[in-house]
Amino acid sequence: MLKNTEELIISKYGITKDAFHIFRRALEEVSDDLNRYDEIKEYNQLKVLAAFQEERISDSHFTNSTGYAYDDMGREGLDRVYARVFNTEAAIVRPHFVNGTHAIGTALFGNLRPEDTLLAISGRPYDTLHGVIGLNGLKGTGSLKDYGIKYDEVDLIDDEHLDFENIEKKIKSNDSIKMVHIQRSTGYSTRKALQLTEIKKAIDLVKSLNSSIIVFVDNCYGEFVDIYEPTDFGADLMAGSLIKNIGGGISPTGGYIVGKKEYVENAAYRLTVPGIGGECGAMLDTMRTLFQGFFLAPNVTIEALKGAHLLSKVMELSGFSCKPSSREKRSDIVQTITFGDKDVLIEFIRGIQEAAPIDSYVTCIPTPMPGYEDEVIMAAGAFIQGSSIELSADAPIREPYIAYIQGGLTFDHAKIGALIALNKVINAKK
């Protein structure tokens, strides 16, 4: 970092000597790790570029259709590019998905029928899926449970590894299991993100026991973190959000579903209606940004990953527990920090907000949020509302007071965010 840059940061944000010393030390200690991430970025950039070229994407694909949008070449071309990159038979990529939960729910509803069982093998899914499944105690909302779809789960071992022995027992003892659900990322929990090697082992196990079971992977926060994706190892169906990794920071909204043609079509029938599926749907002036965001995604994801890695080292040096640690291989862009203190947690979140380009002057406070069971405090000074590929942080207000940090369109911005948040924490502890 240039001396002029250091002086500007210190004077602009009132950074203490203690905070800057920890930050500088962390940056030096992770320098070799950051270089290794660039190798992943280069591979994935080439993979995406090749898909664009093989599908002969042109300026014509950026034009907009209206009404029913029959034969929209841009929409169809985008689906094919996604399918190529994820090594699948089909894809549906749409701005009509309001978030990742909507895309995941569409995949589940489209492929599960009454009396089927959904088996979650990575423990209880992310909070916002509780209402989709019917785990929130509400009736008559149209959840899977309301439609007679059963649910079961297998907890992780020590919040870290899949319990293959119990997964096998569940599948062998229940002929109604139609789909196995795997959540790659951590969600609002203390668990670790699942490594792809473990996801592959799970897919192989499920298919060896019953090849007709659909293996679904919630890939939110995991795209382009590795040179492989779960679909490269046989996942039948996968979904995620366009305002996370895969949208490259410029997709304005939307989600994607990729996988085997039959299962993607079933999901498309749920998104629209049976008989129409993905054949209709005007893309509402989003074509260029959806294509361009996907093209930028490998680079933006790695910038965010570097930021998360640096942040883990910064906070470890400050005495906090981080998952993943700065010594571990990462499988998503999410960084968790356990504060054990409500007030320190809140100050950290406020530091991330203060570092934002948008609404940096706003003071974050805990508040109830739709789909969440606890009050949540969020730092989200983003160009796109709710975009968690942009530097953001959120935390449910519950013990042990864990912050979930993700994103950073550039590593430089992620560095500044880490430093300002660290400074707030140090001041809060005095």
Same domain, 299 and 392: yes
Q: Which of 256, 284, 312 is the last residue in one of the domains?
A: 284
8-state DSSP, 340: S
Q: Structural domain of residue 260, as residue ranges?
A: 64-284
Same domain, 125 and 85: yes
- Helix or strand or coil: residue 367? strand
- Helix or strand or coil: residue 427? helix
Residue 53 forms part of a structural domain: no
Residue 183 forms part of a structural domain: yes
Return averaged pLDDT per consecutive 10 residues of the chain, 430 residues in all. 78 90 95 94 98 97 92 96 98 97 98 98 93 91 97 95 98 98 87 95 98 98 98 98 97 98 98 96 95 98 97 97 95 96 96 96 91 87 94 94 96 96 89
DSSP letters, 281-338, are ---TT-HHHHHHHHHHHHHHHHHHHHHHHHHHHHHHHTT-EEES-TTSPPSSS-EEEE
Residue 52 forms part of a structural domain: no
Same domain, 241 and 103: yes
Q: Which of 284, 311, 331 is the last residue in one of the domains?
A: 284
Peptide bond into 370 cis (omega under 30): no
Same domain, 102 and 170: yes
Residues 286, 300: Cα–Cα separation, whole Å: 19
| Owner of token pair 């909204």 | 253
H helical segments located in 86-227: 100-111, 130-133, 164-173, 196-209
Residue 201 forms part of a structural domain: yes
Residue 59 forms part of a structural domain: no
What's the Cα-to-Cα distance from 328 to each of 155, 302, 308, 309, rounded to whole Å? 22, 16, 12, 9
Rg of the chain, C-alpha, whole Å: 21
Q: Look up the pTM and report it.
A: 0.94
Tokens matching residue 337: 């920090």
Residues 6+ apart with CB under 8 A from 397: 342, 366, 374, 375, 376, 377
Q: What is the CATH number of the domain that holds 177?
A: 3.40.640.10
Q: Which of 252, 284, 316 is the last residue in one of the domains?
A: 284
Strand partners, 218: 183, 239
Residue 260 near residue 239 (C-beta atoms within 8 A): no
Residue 21 forms part of a structural domain: yes
CA proximity to 420, closest of 357, 363, 359, 349: 349
Residue 140 forms part of a structural domain: yes
Same domain, 258 and 352: no
Total domains present in the chain: 2
Residue 330 near residue 324 (C-beta atoms within 8 A): yes
Residues 424, 314: Cα–Cα separation, whole Å: 13
pLDDT the model gives residue 10: 83
**How many residues appear in the chain?**
430
Q: What is the CATH number of the domain that holds 353?
A: 3.90.1150.60
pLDDT the model gives residue 1: 65
pLDDT the model gives residue 247: 97
pLDDT the model gives residue 180: 98
Phi-psi region of 31 (alpha: psi -120 to 50; beta: other; left: phi over 0): alpha
Same domain, 107 and 19: no
Residue 58 forms part of a structural domain: no
pLDDT the model gives residue 365: 95
Same domain, 208 and 241: yes
H helical segments located in 55-186: 73-85, 100-111, 130-133, 164-173
